[in-house]
């Protein structure tokens, strides 16, 4: 073999600069020693032995104890919450068939008493609205409940009269969701209280719309514990969160008292229930401020801190929820009953969701 051939061969075998850099990194980093579970146990890893022993005990306990559904059914029976007969003669299930919206709504309906179903049918909102609507979760929830009630021979009807949403692509998605329902779309909730009329998304003057029920999400950008620029819920001139709530109040005060919604359901991040100090001129608790303002507008309500996973949903999502009813005969009792019913549906411990 001549010298030229040898030189060419050596050049082709030489590593590229990128490969050489990678080789240097590989040599510089010592390989981590990875031990299998069996080896960790054999070498006396107490933590691993403890975990394995705990799993073994749990398997043995499950094998010699009633199933979770049997335990829950027994507990429900004792507390007179579960196993409730419906008009169709069915009984409630211990758990929903899945976390899908329709299955979940069916499970909720199956857990209602006959008296609760009758009251729900009598007070079902014929019209509703979503403010700061997002993706229209209120609409989807009502439709799922409507279908679940229909499966038990209970027919309820409702229409979404109007929606407010600042995000253009979300409004477009909402228009598809509510297509053919005669829903009016507004960009800002503040557009509902412009002088004596409302201005829709196209800037067209409209008669101010009304409804029986409002779903409202207070913007969380200034309230969230993750916010780098926290602002007061009183700061409606500069804060997006305060402005979203103030626009709801402006809409309510623009209506005659008789035209105001019968019920308002409000959702926000859990920080709304905390006393916030960081970045504020003085400490404040958001839920106290919201309750105070809605009381002045003629409502009575209650706040609850809820986590989605406590309702058999596969997500840990802490949120503050407020239920407000127009002041009147029995409204305080109805709010209290609603809160108690929601509490009763919660699971305090759930094996499959414990790790979430």
Rounded CA-CA distance 234/188 in Å is 18
Better-scored residue on pLDDT, 153 or 220: 220
Q: Is the pLDDT of residue 97 over 60?
A: yes
Give the pair of three-digit tokens for residue 347.
Answer: 């699971």
pLDDT in the model for residue 17 = 61
Residue 89: phi and psi, rounded to 5, are 85, 5
11-15, 146-150, 187-191, 206-210: range with lowest mean pLDDT: 11-15
Scored b (16 or more CB within 10 A) or e, 322-332 reads bbbbbeeeebe
pLDDT over threshold 90, residue 62: no
pLDDT for 325: 96
Residue 108 in this model has a pLDDT that exceeds 70: yes
Pick the more confident residue, 191 or 28: 191
Helix, strand, coil distribution of the chain in percent, nearest 5: 45, 15, 40
Of residues 9 and 89, the one with the higher pLDDT is: 9
The answer to whether residues 320 and 272 touch, using CB atoms and an 8 Å cutoff, is: yes
How far is the C-alpha of 265 from the C-alpha of 175, rounded, in Å?
Answer: 22
Which residue spans within the chain are E strands per DSSP?
127-131, 159-164, 184-186, 198-199, 205-206, 213-217, 263-269, 275-276, 284-285, 299-307, 318-326
pLDDT at 355 over 90: no
Helix, strand or coil for residue 248?
helix
What is the distance between the alpha carbons of residues 333 and 299, in angstroms, rounded to a whole number?
13
pLDDT band (50, 70, 90) for residue 201 = confident
User: If you search the block for the tokens 């590593």, which residue do you land on?
Assistant: 15
For all residues of the chain together, what is the average pLDDT? 79
42-55 mean pLDDT: 50
3-state secondary structure of 215: strand
pLDDT at 88: 37
Higher-pLDDT residue of 116, 190 = 190
Q: What does the pLDDT average to over 51-61?
A: 53
Q: On the CB side of 205, how many CA atoms lie within 13 Å of its CA?
A: 4
Whole-number Cα distances in Å, 185 to 104, 129, 167, 197: 29, 10, 12, 14
* Residue 136 pLDDT: 94
In this model, does residue 71 exceed pLDDT 90? no
Q: What is residue 73's predicted lDDT score, i.e. its pLDDT? A: 41
For residue 166, how many C-alpha atoms fall within 13 Å in the half-sphere facing its CB? 11
| Whether pLDDT at 6 is above 50 | no
Using a pLDDT cut of 90, give the percent of the chain over it: 46
Looking at the predicted structure, is the pLDDT value of residue 5 above 50?
A: no
Long-range CB contact pairs, 116-119, < 8 A, 24+:
116/341, 117/86, 117/87, 117/149, 117/152, 117/154
- The structural domains of the chain, ordered by start, are 34-65 (no CATH), 70-353 (3.40.50.150)
- pLDDT interval class at 53 (50, 70, 90): low
pLDDT at 210 over 60: yes
β-pairing verdict for 284-285 and 275-276: antiparallel
Band of pLDDT at residue 348, cut at 50, 70 and 90 = low
Is the pLDDT at 2 greater than 60? The verdict is no
Residue 70 confidence (pLDDT) above 70: no
152 pLDDT more than 60: yes
Long-range contacts at 165-173 (CB < 8 A, ≥ 24 apart): 165/130, 165/132, 165/133, 165/134, 166/132, 170/133, 170/134, 170/135, 171/201, 173/135, 173/136
């Amino acid at each position: 073999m001549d010298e030229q051939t040898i030189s060419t061969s050596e050049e082709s075998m030489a590593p590229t600069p990128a490969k050489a850099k990678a080789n240097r990194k590989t040599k510089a980093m010592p390989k981590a020693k990875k031990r299998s579970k069996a080896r960790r146990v054999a070498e006396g890893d107490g933590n691993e032995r403890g975990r394995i022993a705990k799993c073994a005990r749990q398997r043995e306990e499950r094998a010699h104890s009633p199933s979770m559904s049997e335990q829950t059914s027994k507990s429900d029976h004792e507390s007179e919450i579960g196993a409730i007969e419906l008009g169709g003669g069915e009984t409630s299930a211990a758990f929903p068939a899945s976390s899908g919206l329709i299955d979940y709504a069916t499970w909720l309906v199956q857990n209602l008493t006959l008296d609760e179903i009758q009251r729900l049918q009598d007070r079902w909102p014929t019209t509703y609205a979503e403010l700061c609507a997002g993706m229209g979760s209120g609409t989807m929830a009502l439709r799922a409940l409507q279908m679940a009630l229909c499966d038990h021979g209970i027919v309820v009807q409702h229409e979404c009269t109007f929606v407010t949403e600042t995000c253009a692509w979300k409004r477009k998605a909402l228009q598809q969701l509510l297509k053919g329902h005669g829903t009016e779309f507004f960009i800002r909730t503040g557009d509902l209280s412009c002088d004596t009329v409302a201005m829709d998304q196209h800037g067209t003057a409209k008669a101010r719309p009304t409804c029986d029920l409002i779903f409202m999400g207070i913007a969380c950008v200034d309230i969230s514990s993750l916010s780098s620029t926290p602002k007061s819920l009183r700061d409606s001139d500069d804060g997006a969160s305060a402005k979203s709530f103030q626009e709801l109040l402006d809409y309510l005060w623009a209506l005659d008292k008789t035209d105001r919604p019968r019920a308002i359901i409000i959702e926000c991040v859990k920080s709304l229930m905390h006393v916030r100090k960081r970045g504020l001129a003085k400490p404040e608790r958001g839920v106290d401020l919201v309750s105070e303002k809605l009381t002045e507008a003629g409502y009575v309500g209650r706040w609850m801190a809820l986590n989605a996973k406590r309702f058999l949903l596969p997500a840990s999502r802490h949120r503050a929820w407020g239920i407000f009813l127009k002041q009147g005969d029995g409204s305080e009792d109805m709010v209290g009953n609603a809160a108690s019913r929601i509490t009763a549906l919660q699971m305090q411990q759930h094996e499959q969701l414990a790790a979430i």
